[in-house]
Every structure is written in C-alpha cells, then in structure tokens.
Amino acid sequence: MLKIRLRRMGATNKAFYRLIVSDSRKATSSAALEEVGTYDPRQDPPRILIDRPRIDFWVGQGALLSESMGLPTFATGNLLRDAVSRGTPLGLQARAVMEAGKLVSDDIILGVIRDELDRPAAAGGVIFDGVVRTIPQAEGMERLLADRGRKLNAVLFFDVPDAEIIGRIERRRGIEGRPDDDPAAVATRLQSYRDQTAPVLAWYESRGNLIRIPAVGPVDDIATRVRRALALQGT
C-alpha cells in the first residue's frame, strides 16, 4: 500500500525530514517512489516545502484508492523511474526509451506485472496504475490472470483533455525538471498514446470492463466519482 510520510535525515541533533511516497510493503529504508516535499526544523522559522500537485496526484490516483479499498497499488511508471535512478538492469533498458517519450516494451511491462501478481501482498487483489498501454499488454495480462485463476474487475480511464495534460506536465517540469517532461518527449508520448493506448479502451469496453472517469477538477471530486462508479459496478 502507498503511504505519504516523513523520512528522517541528518544527524541526531540536526535532523531534517523529506516528505516521501513509499510502498508500505517494503522496508522503511528502501528507495522512495517519489519525494514530494521537505521539512527543515533547523531553520528559523522552520522551513516547509510541499509539492502540492504531486501530492494531489498520488492521493487522487493511487494512495486514496489504496486506503479506501484496502488494496496495494502498483504504479508502473514510478517503479521504472526508481529502477532508472538506481541503475538496475531494468532501469538501463527503460531509461533511453522513457526519456524519448516512447513506451517501454511489452515484455518488460508484463514482467513487472507478473512479479507484482506473485507478491503475497497482492493475493487479495491489487490496483494497477499506468498499465496496460497496448493491446499485447492487455492480452498478456489476461493470460497472467487466467493462469492464476484470477480476473480483472474494472479498468478506470481518467479522461483528461490534452490541453490540461500539457499544462499539468509543464507545471511538473518546472518543479522536478524530469527529462521525460521535455516538450518534444511529451508530444511523442501523446502520439504514442493515440497510436497504441487509445485502442486499448475499445478492447476493454468490448469486454464490459471500462469505466470512464472525468478527471478535471478537485481531487476529492474525482475520488468521489471513482467510488461511485465502482459501487455501481459492484466492485
């Protein structure tokens, strides 16, 4: 399950804190999924910096769902970015592709989905965030679930206009400076979405799994729409 918490840093008598998003299934010392703020009580007055858009993102897209439904959340993009930052073999494979704004290969994505499904914490269910993005991935996930005697309950599509997406990414780029938020990379990502991911919506809609969620507005409003839609479907 995802948590937003403080991580203590520095010497005993000179402590400061980072506000991080972490996976509660892992050791508290493991790498954070993302840093979303800092708190430094050594300053006078104490200094607090919070990246509100990113906190809203985590609360609205993963952490809030995870808390309300009691399920662990698996965010592909953050796992891959963490692997890139640590220089793992997976990260080395994914880095150039991600920075160019292209989609990571189906084999890599299905590999991490398989590993997540096999975690003991996922035995009672799991929320996938950011997958699947191609029809081969959708077909692969269907096989992985069937092999384990499990099924997909619902697919949530957060419907956001391109202009809003670009605006959010521009704001994030100003805060984080991520290379995959470069305008050229963003344009490539949007085109990859139209070419490869948009057809997945029709694929899931034909199976009765797709739920469209209007995702512009306050985070609490969007979360309410999600809960109502899932309740109507009996999920």
Q: Which residue, among 218, 56, 227, 209, has the nearest Cα to 142 in the 3D structure?
A: 209
Burial of 29 (0-12, 13-18, 19+ CB in 10 A): exposed
pLDDT digits (tens, 9 = 90+) for 91-122: 777 787 777 767 778 888 888 788 778 878 78
Among left, alpha and beta (phi > 0; psi -120 to 50; other), residue 85 is alpha
What tokens does 101 get?
């704004």
The residue count for the chain:
235
CA separation for the pair 142, 44 (Å, rounded):
55
How much is the pTM?
A: 0.60
CA separation for the pair 64, 220 (Å, rounded):
9
CA separation for the pair 85, 87 (Å, rounded):
6
CA separation for the pair 163, 165 (Å, rounded):
5
Bridge partners of 219, per DSSP, are none
Q: Domains along the chain? A: 52-233 (3.40.50.300)
pLDDT digits (tens, 9 = 90+) for 172-217: 777 777 777 788 888 888 888 888 888 999 999 999 999 999 988 8
